[in-house]
Amino acid sequence: MNSGQYDFAVIGAGVVGCAIARELSRYDCQTILIESRSDLGDGASKGNSAVLSTGADTPFGSLECRLVARGHARYFAEAPSLGLPILAIGSLTVAWNSDQLAMLTSMHADAVAAGFGDGEIVGPDFIYAKTPRLARGAVAAIWDPHEAIVDPFSTPLAYALDAVENDVEFRHSSPVTGAFRNSGIWHLETPAGNIRTGTVINCGGLWADKVDSLGGFSDFSSRPRRGQFIVYDKSARSLLDVVIKPVPTPSYRGVLVTPTVFGNVLVGPTAEDIDDPDDWRTTHEGLAALREAALRILPELGAHEVTATYCGVRPGTDRAEYRIIPRPDASWVSVAGIRSTGLSGALGIAEHVVALASGFGSHLARKSREPRPIRVPSLCSLDPRPWERTATPARADLEIVCHCEGTTLGQIESAFASPIPPRSLKALKRRTRATFGRCQGFYCGARVRMLLDEALAGRTA
């Protein structure tokens, strides 16, 4: 542990903060990533649609558009070496009537003018060849072959592990509760003591306005927007192999129906402005609206079981765009309002923010050595299971703990042995899929809980 002073303190280990910490790990500087919760990726980053967007559905010319396009390109280039799965299944943005067709045509023309020339307008023959189970009546669609589905939980984990492997310190369970600056050094107050740093990068997501106010800044206020989801059973996965999107309105991207890399079908999100960023409830009305939309788009979903419902909250602000605000005089960067595209844009945002922050003080030099590599185990349902990866699997890789997801004892033990081990059942679920499946832990929950308790007791013993 660095007992002295850091060059950079990144507050908030969501997907954005983790990507920024990883980016900083490529430079000769001391960096700390500080998270209030016991695990990373436990805010907005745990409740999204997991679609890697190209940027073609963001406002053209905006910073968001540029950074999402860059993040998408970098994800394709870098995720495979981190072990992260990408299923490039493409998306169809479907028009169901003549009004939507007019909007679709104009969206496509704007996209081409903005340099997103790969999407093409396709007719019903193409649409139904791609997705035969789609409800009848589709008029046309934009086919974007570059949209992909990814693992939303392993992504921030991979970024954080990479950062830690490359000398960044990660401090969990450390809410920053105060901040003051003395002789050019920020002192960040946490329950375990003050952290001293030259530059602060506020990636507080839903709480970024509160973190900014600790530093004396008040340029924006958070406007949380809740999005509910329904997860359909894996039996539904054969119904589609493409992301189905509606024609968006200026304020709502609408309900999408998409496969997940874990082998389920996901329907959502809703869009509800809420006051409390901690209000993560699903509601009867929200889920009923999603189910109605699901059956309208993919009627055969009605014959499949629902595995789970969940909710995410978008970290919006009082303006629609990203609020990335460099404050060179204060050595503070606010990275807020990463509302609906942070999973896609994180690597682009990281590059942009580090370039901004490196201009604050002395020159930030890249490390001369290559970064030490890390890999996370792929949790994609299409990838080989642990016992299939070698001719002579270890005993723990033959012992299945969670039968719905095929999670082995070996996977759980590896998660506990990680430099960033899970400290809660939720964190263990996100790393291994245990209890995430059809029975939602009915059969394996007690064993998984026991394994977690033993690991936690071992760590404190």
Shortest CB 63 distance to ligand FAD, Å: 14
Our finding on whether 13 is near ligand FAD (CB under 6 A) is: yes
Say which residue the tokens 């998984």 belong to. Answer: 448
Our finding on whether 344 is near ligand FAD (CB under 6 A) is: yes
Strands of 395-446 (E only): list them.
Answer: 400-402, 407-408
Residues 6+ apart with CB under 8 A from 282: 228, 309, 310, 311
Our finding on whether 34 is near ligand FAD (CB under 6 A) is: yes
Q: What is the torsional sign of CA 68, 70, 73, 77?
A: negative
Which span sits near ligand FAD by CB under 6 A: 81-89, 336-344, 430-438, 444-452?
Answer: 336-344
Considering only residues 420 through 439, tell me which ones interact with ligand FAD, judged by CB under 6 A: none
Q: What are 80's two structure tokens? A: 């495979």
Shortest CB 333 distance to ligand FAD, Å: 13
Q: What are 95's two structure tokens? A: 């028009």
Our finding on whether 124 is near ligand FAD (CB under 6 A) is: no
Instruction: Classify each residue of 219-233 as buried b or exposed e, where b means 16 or more C-beta atoms within 10 Å of its C-beta.
Output: ebebbbbbbbbbbbb
Our finding on whether 44 is near ligand FAD (CB under 6 A) is: yes
Strands 91-95 and 51-52: unpaired
Shortest CB 312 distance to ligand FAD, Å: 3
CB 201 within 8 A of CB 8: yes
Per CB under 6 A, the list member of 85, 204, 215, 263 interacting with ligand FAD is: 204
HEC profile for 157-203? HHHHHHHHHCCCEEECCCCCCEEEEECCEEEEEECCEEEEEEEEEEC
Shortest CB 95 distance to ligand FAD, Å: 21
Shortest CB 123 distance to ligand FAD, Å: 26
Our finding on whether 211 is near ligand FAD (CB under 6 A) is: yes
Our finding on whether 176 is near ligand FAD (CB under 6 A) is: yes
- Count Cβ atoms below 10 Å from residue 321 Cβ, excluding itself: 14
CB 417 within 8 A of CB 404: no
Our finding on whether 175 is near ligand FAD (CB under 6 A) is: yes
Our finding on whether 342 is near ligand FAD (CB under 6 A) is: yes
CB 298 within 8 A of CB 244: yes
Our finding on whether 12 is near ligand FAD (CB under 6 A) is: yes
The backbone torsions φ and ψ at residue 394, rounded to the nearest 5 degrees and listed phi first, read -70, 155
Nearer to ligand FAD, 148 or 451 (CB): 148
Our finding on whether 206 is near ligand FAD (CB under 6 A) is: yes
| C-alpha span between 166 and 134 (Å, rounded) | 46
Nearer to ligand FAD, 44 or 138 (CB): 44
> What is the pattern of x (binds ligand FAD, CB under 6 A) and - over residues 217-236?
----------x---------
DSSP SS3 for 30: coil
Our finding on whether 158 is near ligand FAD (CB under 6 A) is: no
Query: Residue 385: exposed, middle, or buried by beta-carbon count in 10 A (0-12, 13-18, 19+)?
Result: middle
Per CB under 6 A, the list member of 153, 170, 207, 416 interacting with ligand FAD is: 207
Per CB under 6 A, the list member of 234, 314, 352, 430 interacting with ligand FAD is: 314
Per CB under 6 A, the list member of 83, 85, 119, 205 interacting with ligand FAD is: 205
Our finding on whether 43 is near ligand FAD (CB under 6 A) is: yes
Our finding on whether 36 is near ligand FAD (CB under 6 A) is: yes
Per CB under 6 A, the list member of 10, 50, 157, 364 interacting with ligand FAD is: 50
Q: Count how many residues are written for the chain.
A: 461
Q: Report how many residues bind ligand FAD under the rule CB under 6 A.
A: 42
Our finding on whether 17 is near ligand FAD (CB under 6 A) is: yes
205: left (phi over 0), alpha (psi -120 to 50) or beta: left
Per CB under 6 A, the list member of 21, 22, 24, 35 interacting with ligand FAD is: 35
Per CB under 6 A, the list member of 155, 340, 411, 432 interacting with ligand FAD is: 340
The backbone torsions φ and ψ at residue 393, rounded to the nearest 5 degrees and listed phi first, read -65, 150
Strands 222-232 and 306-317: antiparallel
Catalog residues that contact ligand FAD under the rule CB under 6 A: 11-17, 34-37, 42-45, 47-51, 53, 175-176, 203-207, 211, 227, 269, 312-315, 338-344
